[in-house]
Structure 1
Amino acid sequence: MSERIEDVTVVGGGDSGLLAALALQRMNPGLDVSVVDDFGQPVPQVGKSTFLAIQQILHDSLGIDERSFVEAVKPVWKASVYFRDWCGNEPFHYPFDQSRKFPNPEERDTNEAFYFYYSELHDSEAHQSKCEQLVAQGKSPWYFSPREGGARKYDNVAYHLNTERFNEFLRDLCLDRGIRLIDDEVVTVDVADDRIRRLRSRNRAYEADLYVDATGFSRVLRGEQTDDFREFDLPLDAALNARSEIDLADVVPATVVETGEAGWFWQIDTYDNRDRGYVYASDYVSEAAAREEFVAHCEGIDADDVVKYEFDSGYHERAWVENCVAVGNAEGFVEPLQSTGLTANAKASVTLATLLSGHGRVADDAVRERYNAWVRETWESIYDFISVHYAYADGDTEFWEDAQSVELSRRTELLIEAFDRTGFDAHVDPTMGHPEIDDPLFFQPLDFYALIHHMGATSAFYESHDFEIDDETRRAVERNYGSIREDVADHYDHREFYHGALGQH
């Protein structure tokens, strides 16, 4: 069935719903967009951490002025995921500028620099990218440079967000852009043959050409439709969350990860507090035991303030069914590790809006399937990225022993095999040429190789050949890292930025 979309009703006023409304309206001028939700309910506290692409999505795709955003939302800039303790490995980063640690592949004799990275990788104090130095020195990406015309920012960073500030900002932006916010609660969904006819609250009915389900795991609209749910082979299904006070000068500009008995802990510093969490598998530990472990691990949190969330890992194989698109957790979720959720869902909304715009807002089966294929590919690629963390995990609890048997996709297996055979390779994607793999990578192969090497993967290519690092290469690399340390020392920390530098620039 084909139809032209003239009006859209988004159900759910959380971050995913508001971002979807903003994307649809911005890419499709003239589209009538409204958001229905009980806006009196408190904003959920989880989901504060983002991935690198969030800046491009917010400030380019959605046209959100960066200064206005910073002044209102007061983000903390995130430079990496810092694995302070991952199954007994030495501490390591997954920084947003990982690729800058590798040589230009078009330079001569790059193998020496690749081998230097391989053999010296765990000397984390000496060999840190700019993002890693921002974390080590507790700095923001902002600095002042008269030569460059004033305040400047290192762009390879993401955000830590206070969800209340962020959601309030998005609501105000929706109203400024002519998107209606309707304070109401949908209680009935009228459906015939998977097609939504109307939505009903206690007082009125809503009809639209396209409905967007942004109701999170409750899936108010999607739950009334028929669609297969692809479950991922990940045992984690619950999270505990609490906050403690923090001074801006003590902000760690990274999502900090540490291992627990039946899962892992997070630390996400925001402008207002230090957010702590424990993601765990309820099949391996009781809620009471998880709470006890969480409170003992996290200094400064009150046991009475701990909130529990539950989630399922997987996605609906058709994000767009008939005249309803599911976004955010209503469509799918992997798990919080590596902070892919909010950013991936925002990207999905931008993709949906762009696809509609490029097809004259005509929604037919071909357009729906193209979007659904993109969403499926994205979820599968994110799963590949997350699953390898568990495949290389180690531990003496039942959870961690079982976690190592996580299912790996054929693409992940090919990447692991390629690293073993040829080490770091900037030229070839080893998954190309395999007809069973047709979805794009969520990550770059070099970043993947660095991640698994941090977690213990070795390469027979480097181990079986007699490579040496000449003094000139070593000096050049060390000069580079020394220069990075000096540059970052001149950056503002978050207190300096918000209590002085922001007002001056």
Structure 2
Amino acid sequence: MGNRIEDVTVVGGGDSGLLTALAVKRVNPGVDVSVVDDFEAEVPQVGKSTFRAIRNILHGVLGIDEREFVTEVKPVWKASVYFRDWCGRPPFHYPFDTNRNFPNPDESDTYEGYYFFYEEGHNSAEYQTKCERIVSERKSPWYFDPGKGGLSMYDNVAYHLNTERFNAYLRELCRDRGVALIDDEVVTVDVAGDRIKRLRSRNRAYESDLFVDATGFSRVLKSEQSDAFHEFDLPLDTALNARADLDLAEVVPATVIDTGDHGWFWQIDTFDNRDRGYVYASEFVSEGAAREEFLDHCEGIDADDVVKYEFTPGYFERAWVDNCVAIGNAEGFVEPLQSTGLTVNAKAAVTLATLLSGHGQVQDDWIRDTYNRWVDRAWRAVFDFISLHYAYADGETAFWEAARSIDISPRAAFLVEQFDRHGFDAHVDPVANSAEFDDLLFFPPWGFYTLIRNMGASSAFYESNDFAMGDRKRRTVERYYEDIREDVTDHYDHHEFYHGALGQY
């Protein structure tokens, strides 16, 4: 027989912990929710990049007012992941409108559009999607719409977030919505088997129907339970991070990726600074040499400001064990490529809250198993996608040789084979839509195809058949992309938006 959850205690006041508290409280308003953390401690300053789903989670499910959020948090809008240099490949984007790379006015000439994208449109500056054009012209998604008499926004974007602003905003939102924030530090966890009996600080004890471990890689609660940790076949395990000054007019509205000798560099532009990072494999380079490479690559950062983070790619196979759910980095982490961490964790928080609501706040084996299956699929989907970046990499160092040996999953291999045999298949073989493949919702087939084509994958379907684009289709394509170019010209850049246009919001 299950037991009813009347109170939830979240340990850890980072972004994942606060988002979980907000999700549980909003979807289960009768449940008492509290967050325990040392709120006097400094908030980690690593810039947070997200993907498109974050906006619906924040402004849809969590009901966060978008105007208030923009005013207080001051995000930068991200339109793509921009691979400026990936193992010597020509620069390319992974945009958030990968399912709209060409116009298709009717079904009679669908194959022509697919072939055009394969042959000419996959990395052409002339045939950029709107997301790609926004990035190349350093624009925000905002523009003035005379028909509406005010601001309008292109929706296929995500956020770059300054963690201090974001975390401070989430704290205030928790207080406004009845989530108790307790400034304390857990020092002891009392357990009986896998069950968390109580938490102890130096001054008091905490008991709860459900505990959430959101303590990051410290895993204060999760480490007290018996659970298998599934490691991913990725050699990366360390990141260096620092910030540089940035003029808002110079914002690049994309997460920018460059290849290093032993990993890759990121650039995440936020309202306050340019966040730089180097993700590398410590097996192949010393920390000192990695720091030197990082400083040589990144202008404007101070050696004394560089911070190191260590991680093990993988996840716990059971996120929810007995009366404790691990979320965020406490549950799992792959690596920063494609900015999956915050958005997947926010989705996990919403999934947890929704399951609790739909199950009458009763915790039993069914709800734990259901949630654990979702988490398992989510992390495997992330690894599926990220692993493909290395399968097609052709760097020449020992690290890149090791990276190319990563085994991609059956799901990823299926889509690679699909692309080779059938090209850009709009519908994909029905097996891809079965329960085994439903975790592709994070990265749909078009996203896989866009990535691997830009990384050099070819398709025997297109290479062995005599396709050509007809004049009718070409005229349609030219008009379509010309409209995009003209449209994006009218968008505000981030400086213009925050120092003028925001007043029209």
Q: TM-score range by the shorter chain?
A: over 0.9
2:87 maps to 87
Partner amino acid for 2:306?
Answer: V
Q: How many residues were matched structurally? A: 505
1:72 maps to 72
Deviation at 1:446, TM superposition (A): 1.6
1:459 maps to 459
1:482 counterpart = 2:482: yes
TM-score, length of structure 1 as denominator length: 0.98
Q: Show CA shifts across 1:100-123 (max 9, x none).
A: 114449621111111010000355
- Match of 1:300, SS state, is coil
- Match of 2:282, SS state, is coil
2:404 maps to 404
Correspondences of 1:45-444 after superposition (within 5 Å): 45-46=45-46, 48-104=48-104, 107-429=107-429, 431-432=431-432, 439-444=439-444
Distance in structure 2 (CA, Å) of the matches to 1:376 and 1:435? 13
Deviation at 1:430, TM superposition (A): 5.9
- Match of 2:256, SS state, is strand
Deviation at 1:24, TM superposition (A): 0.2
Deviation at 1:369, TM superposition (A): 0.2
Deviation at 1:437, TM superposition (A): 5.7
TM-score, length of structure 2 as denominator length: 0.98
Q: Runs of 5+ in structure 1 lacking a partner?
A: none
Q: After the TM superposition, which of the residue ranges 373-382 and 105-114 deviates more from structure 2?
A: 105-114
1:42 counterpart = 2:61: no
Distance in structure 1 (CA, Å) of the matches to 2:503 and 2:206? 45
Distance in structure 2 (CA, Å) of the matches to 1:127 and 1:431? 32
Deviation at 1:432, TM superposition (A): 3.3
Distance in structure 2 (CA, Å) of the matches to 1:492 and 1:434? 42
- Match of 2:220, SS state, is coil
8 Å Cα contact 2:77/2:160 also seen in 1: yes
Deviation at 1:47, TM superposition (A): 5.0
User: CA, structure 1 residues 29+494, in 2 after alignment: closer, same or farther (shift >3 Å)?
Assistant: same
Partner amino acid for 2:329?
Answer: N
Distance in structure 2 (CA, Å) of the matches to 1:380 and 1:170? 29
Deviation at 1:431, TM superposition (A): 4.2
Distance in structure 2 (CA, Å) of the matches to 1:157 and 1:433? 25
User: CA, structure 1 residues 384+456, in 2 after alignment: closer, same or farther (shift >3 Å)?
Assistant: same
Distance in structure 2 (CA, Å) of the matches to 1:123 and 1:243? 30
Distance in structure 2 (CA, Å) of the matches to 1:76 and 1:45? 16
8 Å Cα contact 2:103/2:480 also seen in 1: no
8 Å Cα contact 1:18/1:35 also seen in 2: yes
Q: Show CA shifts across 1:113-168 (max 9, x none).
A: 11010000355210111110110111000000121231100011000000000000
Distance in structure 1 (CA, Å) of the matches to 2:488 and 2:239? 35
8 Å Cα contact 2:91/2:123 also seen in 1: no
8 Å Cα contact 1:429/1:445 also seen in 2: no
8 Å Cα contact 1:12/1:35 also seen in 2: yes
Deviation at 1:411, TM superposition (A): 1.0
Distance in structure 2 (CA, Å) of the matches to 1:444 and 1:201? 45
Partner amino acid for 2:9?
Answer: T
Deviation at 1:427, TM superposition (A): 1.3
Deviation at 1:473, TM superposition (A): 1.5
- Match of 1:318, SS state, is coil
Misfit runs of 4+, over 3 Å:
102-106, 429-441
Seq. identity, %: 72
- Match of 2:124, SS state, is coil
8 Å Cα contact 1:254/1:268 also seen in 2: yes
User: CA, structure 1 residues 40+255, in 2 after alignment: closer, same or farther (shift >3 Å)?
Assistant: same
Distance in structure 2 (CA, Å) of the matches to 1:86 and 1:360? 48
2:493 maps to 493
Distance in structure 1 (CA, Å) of the matches to 2:285 and 2:146? 56
Distance in structure 2 (CA, Å) of the matches to 1:258 and 1:430? 36
User: CA, structure 1 residues 265+63, in 2 after alignment: closer, same or farther (shift >3 Å)?
Assistant: same
Distance in structure 2 (CA, Å) of the matches to 1:404 and 1:123? 23
User: CA, structure 1 residues 197+296, in 2 after alignment: closer, same or farther (shift >3 Å)?
Assistant: same
Distance in structure 1 (CA, Å) of the matches to 2:199 and 2:126? 59
- Match of 1:63, SS state, is coil
Distance in structure 1 (CA, Å) of the matches to 2:178 and 2:454? 48
Deviation at 1:471, TM superposition (A): 2.2
- Match of 1:375, SS state, is helix
- Match of 1:143, SS state, is strand
Deviation at 1:472, TM superposition (A): 2.2
Q: After the TM superposition, which of the residue ranges 122-131 and 201-210 deviates more from structure 2?
A: 122-131
Distance in structure 1 (CA, Å) of the matches to 2:30 and 2:433? 43
- Match of 2:83, SS state, is strand
Q: Runs of 5+ in structure 2 lacking a partner?
A: none
Partner amino acid for 1:187?
Answer: V
Distance in structure 1 (CA, Å) of the matches to 2:282 and 2:86? 20
Distance in structure 2 (CA, Å) of the matches to 1:503 and 1:433? 45
Distance in structure 2 (CA, Å) of the matches to 1:180 and 1:122? 50
Partner amino acid for 1:276?
Answer: R
Partner amino acid for 2:253?
Answer: P
8 Å Cα contact 1:84/1:256 also seen in 2: yes
User: CA, structure 1 residues 437+486, in 2 after alignment: closer, same or farther (shift >3 Å)?
Assistant: closer
Distance in structure 2 (CA, Å) of the matches to 1:145 and 1:504? 11
- Match of 2:24, SS state, is helix
Deviation at 1:435, TM superposition (A): 8.6
Partner amino acid for 1:57?
Answer: I
Deviation at 1:317, TM superposition (A): 0.4
Q: Show CA shifts across 1:417-443 (max 9, x none).
A: 110000000112464388976755431
